[in-house]
Each structure stands twice: as structure tokens, then as C-alpha cells.
Chains A and B, each alone.
Chain A
Amino acid sequence: MARVIKVARKGFDVKTAGDENLLYSSLWPVLSIFKEVPIKITNPNEDAIIFEHGLGYPPMFWDFTNFTNTFNLPGSSQFFSELFSVNEKYLKYTKPQTAATAPIEGVVQLFTLDLSRQFTAPVINVGGVSGNIRSSRSFKLAKEGKSINSTRLKDFVITTDARSPLIHSVNPGTVQANGGDIYGNGFTVEHTLGYVPLCFGYSKGSNGYYSILASGGGGTTRFAATPNKVIFSESTTGRELTLVLMKDPFEAEQTGVVTV
């Protein structure tokens, strides 16, 4: 019988917590940062190789910069600039379509997760028992060079005072004819989570570089999701892509209303 190590989130009983309420389990990876690459591009209107990660595979990544579609916002950081991509060796910067007017600053998080390798975690216990466990115990692992007594959350690898995204599956594939929903062509990933998971898409270009898949609802691409599948649809076929499904459900407590 395989041994399993798991730690529940604060307030949950590890024996009954649903998979999505575990801090981690040895059965699936937590999203882990291989390298935080500082970004300060002083010639933003030229393409450049930013960093040689040397992983030997294309890693999942997130980018955060001061660049929106057409502006550089001073003192701020926004997710997904459409400026970065990765292959098995490099992190690359591609100049924006509209010229940037100031240096681009921020950070790119390269994760250890391999976008080219299929992986599916088991579904052990979805839902589970709602947390109502009061405990003074905690689990913390400090980063290298940091103290376990630090009061700064960023100094820890993992801690029961925080939640980290858990990986459910990594799904490389190709957009097929009649593989989608409203646009006809698409790539469908079935899952057995029983709820709508968070999902990130990465598109593989003809140059072998993976970029974050834009799906903002303004064009002819979109995501759709049900409790048992995630569908990426578009009007053309042939795109190579990878869909990464998290164990985190999309549904959550509504924390605010924005009325405009």
C-alpha cells in the first residue's frame, strides 16, 4: 500500500477534508516556483531573451508587469501582459504591438510544472467535511535562508496560514475540428472533479514557445467549463496548447459587488 502524506488547510480535518481543502498531498504537486525572474526591460520595443532557465522542458509561468495593452502604469503590477513566452530552455520577451512608452518592470514566475507532459492527479475525496476544526497546530516550511519565525508570508514555502494552488491535471493537446462548443473547433479536457475548476491555458507557437492563452471574451476564442469538462473553443483548428486544471474550484465566497 502506497504511503500518502497530506496536510489539511487550517480549520479542516485531514481525515475528511476534500482534496481542494488540503494544503498539500503527496499524490499531486502544489504549484511551485522554480524561479522569480526580475523584469526591467529598458528597451521595451525590441525582442529579447530574458533568462535561460535550463529546465529542459517548457515550464508553466505567470507574468506580472506594469504594462497594459497600450500603457505602462507606474507603480503597479498586472497579470498577463502577452509579452512573455517560454520554451525548454529560455524565457523570451516579445515587444508589444503598440510601442511601449517606458521601461517594462515586474516579475515572471517560472514554475516547476512541465507544460509538455501529461499528468492527472487522482480524485480522492471531493467536497469533504466543511472546516470547523479549531487547532493551535500549524505547519510551516521556511524558504532557504529565511527563519521559521518570520512574520512575512512570502518567506515561506508553504504554511497553514495560506492557501496555494494545487495541480489537478496538465493536458497537452491540439484544437480539433468539432472539438469545441459554440465555435465548433476546440480542445476538451474531461475531469472527474465534480465542480468547475480553475484553468489556465498555454498556446504553443510555431516557434516552439508557449505563451499564456488569451481568452478575454472579446474575440473568437473562449473557455467553457462544467463540473466534468473544460472546453477551449476557437474558429480555427490546429493550435497546439496545454490546459492546466487546478483542484481549486472557481466557485467561492462572493466578497464584493462592483456596479458601474
Chain B
Amino acid sequence: MSELKLSLTDIRSTKPSDYILNRKYPNPKVALGRTPAHIGILKIDVISQPVYSSGDIITWYSFPHIYDYIPTVIGLFFGSQDDFTNGGILPYGSWGALGEVFMDADDRNVYVKFQSFDVGATPLGERHFFIRYYVFAEEGRLDP
């Protein structure tokens, strides 16, 4: 079997961390040129002060991906595209004990969801933030 390896240091190295490209170690890949886009930024505006019951998981947004399996999706957030403070990876939990925002995917769509922890009486306060997401081609569920 043919091999292709490119190394940061010595091509004879056997340490996986020394390679910048090796056929044995694929890279997570985002498909380009897709509609809806598989890489981008979602602007999130929570303004209606919704009230959710405890345990509810609410879909706020979804878009179809192109795969016939569950892909892998990651999301990172920041307060704004001009002010990169208060950032991190999802889930976004600025409402504390009320709940949090996360992204997931199934074999059809990618979702932005809110999971409620609250007993169901407190409205969510106004929030504005951005989510940078990647939909990778790699599978999000593999059978052992």
C-alpha cells in the first residue's frame, strides 16, 4: 500500500504529532460551497423573553446538511463580531440556572437548541451573541 507523509521534523519519526500530513491520520473536513453553508456565523437575538418549562428542549433554528448520517458539528460563541469578549465553546449558559444553548445534528439537519433547567416561570432575559459553527463530514456516531 502506498504511503504519503509530510513531517514537521524528520520524516522517519514515528510520532504522530510530528506529521503535518499523513495518510493514516485524516483531517476533519468542512464541505465548501454548500447551501446552506457548512461553515459560517449565526447571529442570535433573544428578545421575546420566552418562558420554557423545566426539561424542555426547544429548537430555535435548523438547517439541512448533505449527509445521510449524523455529522459532527462544533460551535463557538462570542458576544459580538466587534467585541470579542465573553466567548467560549457551546453550550452557551449566560442565563445560568435557566438553561443553555447548544448545537447538535441528526441524520438530516443541524440544530440550534435551548435546553431549559428552570421550573418554568422565569422569562429569558434579552441576549445578543454570535455562534461560529463548523459542520464536519466526519461521523458523529460510530458503532463499536
Taking CB atoms, residues of chain A closer than 8 Å to B76 are 198-199, 250
- Interface presence of A78 (CB below 8 A): yes
B40, A256: Cβ atoms closer than 8 Å: yes
Taking CB atoms, residues of chain A closer than 8 Å to B102 are 68, 78-79
A260, B141: Cβ atoms closer than 8 Å: no
Q: Tell me the complex Cα distance, A213–B81, Å.
A: 22
Q: Tell me the complex Cα distance, A226–B78, Å.
A: 11
Taking CB atoms, residues of chain A closer than 8 Å to B61 are 256, 258
Q: Do A260 and B47 form a contact, CB below 8 Å, given A161-B31, A225-B78, A226-B84?
A: yes
Which partner residue on chain A sits nearest B109 by CB separation? A76
User: Quick one: which of A26, A156, A260 contacts B26, CB cutoff 8 A?
Assistant: A156
A77, B105: Cβ atoms closer than 8 Å: yes
Taking CB atoms, residues of chain B closer than 8 Å to A199 are 76
Q: Do A159 and B28 form a contact, CB below 8 Å, given A29-B19, A181-B85, A225-B87?
A: no
B115, A225: Cβ atoms closer than 8 Å: no
Taking CB atoms, residues of chain A closer than 8 Å to B112 are 258
Taking CB atoms, residues of chain B closer than 8 Å to A105 are 141
Q: Tell me the complex Cα distance, A70–B91, Å.
A: 13
B25, A157: Cβ atoms closer than 8 Å: yes
A143, B45: Cβ atoms closer than 8 Å: no
User: Quick one: which of B23, B28, B32, B132 contacts A141, CB cutoff 8 A?
Assistant: B23
User: Quick one: which of A32, A75, A214, A253 contacts B27, CB cutoff 8 A?
Assistant: A32
Taking CB atoms, residues of chain B closer than 8 Å to A161 are 31-33
Q: Tell me the complex Cα distance, A163–B37, Å.
A: 12
A253, B37: Cβ atoms closer than 8 Å: yes
Within residues 33 to 92 of chain A, which ones have a CB less than 8 A from any CB in chain B? 33-34, 36, 38-40, 55-57, 59, 62, 64, 66, 68-71, 73, 75-80
Which partner residue on chain A sits nearest B1 by CB separation? A144
User: Quick one: which of A68, A156, A162, A250 contacts B84, CB cutoff 8 A?
Assistant: A250
Q: Tell me the complex Cα distance, A143–B96, Å.
A: 43
- Interface presence of A128 (CB below 8 A): no
Chain A 138-161, CB within 8 Å of chain B: the 1/0 string?
Answer: 000111100000001110111101
B27, A158: Cβ atoms closer than 8 Å: yes
User: Quick one: which of B26, B55, B72 contacts A143, CB cutoff 8 A?
Assistant: B26
Q: Do A222 and B88 form a contact, CB below 8 Å, given A70-B117, A153-B137, A257-B42?
A: yes
Taking CB atoms, residues of chain A closer than 8 Å to B28 are 31, 33, 109, 164-165
Chain B 11-45, CB within 8 Å of chain A: the 1/0 string?
Answer: 00001110111111111111111001101111111
Which partner residue on chain A sits nearest B37 by CB separation? A255
* B interface, CB within 8 angstroms of A: 1, 4, 6, 8, 15-17, 19-33, 36-37, 39-48, 50, 55, 57, 60-61, 63, 70-78, 81, 84-96, 100, 102-107, 111-112, 114-115, 117, 124, 132, 134, 137-144
A-B pairs with lowest CB-CB distance, top 7: A218-B93, A215-B88, A77-B140, A255-B40, A162-B29, A164-B27, A38-B142
